[in-house]
Amino acid sequence: MSDPNFWSREFPITSVTRSDLVQAGLTRTFVATITDEHIRAIASKMEDYYCDGSYWTDLKIATIFVTAKEGGSPGD
């Protein structure tokens, strides 16, 4: 490959909004007190939880699902 960033190029997968916090069951009053700094810390913690949990399994499943439409095969 001639692209030096091919293997390390990042693609965002999710974000966190105050609306998400309300959707998760927190009150609007409480969420209104949460700062952008809090949100960044919450997003970072969610990244930790996701990577420590099902991220790798979900990543493989999503990859197989998307590429299967085009006849792709992940190999083993």
**Cα separations (Å) of 51 from 32, 58, 59?**
28, 10, 10
Amino acid at 17: T
Distance, CA of 33 to CA of 42 (rounded, Å): 14
Q: Where are the domains of the chain?
A: 18-68
Displacement of CA 25 from its chain's centroid (Å): 20
pTM across the whole model: 0.71
At 2-36, the pLDDT tens digits run 899 999 998 888 899 999 999 999 999 999 999 99
Please answer whether residues 39 and 16 qualify as being in contact, where contact means their C-beta atoms are separated by less than 8 angstroms: yes
